Amino acid sequence: MINGLICDYTGSKVSKGGDEKMKMLHIAAYTLLWVGGVNLGLSAFGFDVVNLVLGGLGLVQVFNILVGVSAVYSVATHMGDCKVCGKQ
């Protein structure tokens, strides 16, 4: 916290209210993209970690849908989040 305000990873100041939920959504989407990307890379070498962890529960397809939704969300909100692309 800096001067009573929350500072997100892009360095911009956000309020303590509703923006905190959006920050958590952004972090969740970013985390899903990382895990999905690493899993996709490992699957090229024959290691499907998500299937090992979630396969017995039948949640692999749900995970893949969440990764896809996260990708769409990240693309749609990228201009507002990126320091470089958001500059005019």
Rounded mean pLDDT for each run of 10 residues along the chain, 88 residues in total: 42 60 89 94 94 91 95 88 72
Task: Tell me which amino acid residue 58 is.
Answer: G
- State the pTM of this model: 0.70
Instruction: Report which secondary-structure segment, H or E, holds 28.
Output: helix 19-43
pLDDT for 79:
82
Question: What is the sign of the dihedral through the CA atoms of 78, 80, 81 and 83?
Answer: positive
pLDDT for 3:
38
pLDDT for 40:
93
Let me know: does 68 contact 32? Beta carbons within 8 Å: no
